[in-house]
Amino acid sequence: MIVTVTLNTALDLTYRVPALVPRASHRITQVVERPGGKGLNVARVLAALGYETVATGFAGGATGAVLREALAATPVRDELVTTAGPTRRTVAVVDASDGDTTQLNEPGPTVSPAEWESFRERFARLLGGAAAVALCGSLPPGVHVGAYAELVRLARAAGVPVLLDTSGEPLRRGIAARPDLVKPNADELAQLTGSRESRRAALDARRRGAHAVVASLGPEGLLAATPDGLWRAAPPAAVRGNPTGAGDSAVAGLLSGLVDGVPWPDRLVRAVALSTATVLSPVAGEFDAGAYEELLPRVKVTEEIV
């Protein structure tokens, strides 16, 4: 099984409006509600691809109850730890006139020391049956900044490959614990390394401790710095749509490739095709299955000289 960790889960709301106009009232034409947070998005995509997936992290309050009820309707196994504080909400407003999306994110609940210890014990137990682990997203208030580094070390001690997808100081500390893979976007990579040149920054991030680095470059696709080489992978053409969850779908593609043991170029093809198919989906955190299958043979992968 694949375990995904979402310490700051969310109830994702997607609002569709004819056109988003600042300082104006809007009539919403469609509302979609989904369990969210980066790791839960990853888990849903993996489950849709047919992988046994377990989701852990935190959920609480009335919002958390709605999230868990929605999660129960999916193939993802719920191993979330209950918190006293309520789960946050995120709102994606999709402008139907051009497909662009505006994102609004609430802060998460404050996690108590007892709640963190309960999660840590559950995570250690789940590692016993895990083929891979993904640590995804922001840290909620109350969780120490070195939490991901601690979880990376636990996974490595258990012999379980671990992917880290976070930002800022949690990424800086987490990468020093030597995860198997980190997946920052261009801004997160620049913040970590101080370089805006993606190739230089990805190689620098590897030197800081990551076994491999796959950087999301938006419409330009992915750049991967790995022990086996340096690759770029890009969709066949730029697409417009809702980018919410696209990076999480890329993580799902990378994890599926890791578990299946396929070569790096094939992992990148899956990741780019899934990410692009997610942008083309009207609902946050879901992918267009038909578009995914159509994109797989069309993703361009090129190897660069290190």
CB atoms within 10 A of CB 107: 10
What backbone torsions phi and psi does residue 92 show, to the nearest 5 degrees? -110, 120
Task: Read off φ and ψ for residue 52, nearest 5 degrees.
Answer: -70, 120
- Given strand 53-60, what is the order of strands in its sheet? 77-83, 53-60, 2-6, 132-136, 162-165, 181-182, 213-216, 222-226, 229-234, 300-304
Active site (annotated) includes residue 100:
no
DSSP-assigned letter for residue 154: H
Of the residues 12, 165, 248, 288, only one is catalytic, namely 248
Tokens standing for residue 122: 């559950």
Calpha distance 164→148 (Å, rounded): 8
CA distance 107 to 96: 27
Does residue 165 contact residue 36 with C-beta atoms inside 8 Å?
Answer: no
Tokens of 123: 């995570």
Where in the sequence numbering do the catalytic residues fall?
248
